[in-house]
A = this chain, B = another copy of it.
Amino acid sequence: MNTKQLEVQGMTCGHCESAVKGALQELTGVENVDVHLDSGKVEVTFKEGTVTEADMKEAIEEQGYDVVT
């Protein structure tokens, strides 16, 4: 299992948290998603060799948020 931390801009409330979390959890290989609204940090735990960082960024950006790193 692997963990990737992303920094996301524009998440302001619980609805935003749910939107980002839900989009990431739909990706094959993603096991867990932790969203920290105050810091904008998103931690994704996933099976190695399945989902890529690019996939994660795309899923977040499709929800209307910007990924900084």
Contacts and interface: CB of A to CB of B under 8 A. Distances in A.
Please tell me how many copies of the chain the complex holds. 2
A14 B18 CA distance: 13
Nearest to A64: B14
Those 10 A-B pairs whose CB atoms lie nearest each other, nearest first: A15-B15, A12-B12, A12-B13, A13-B13, A13-B16, A15-B16, A13-B15, A15-B19, A14-B64, A10-B13
Interface of A: 10, 12-16, 19, 64
Nearest to A17: B15
A13 B18 CA distance: 13
A1 to B, nearest CB: 30
A27 to B, nearest CB: 21
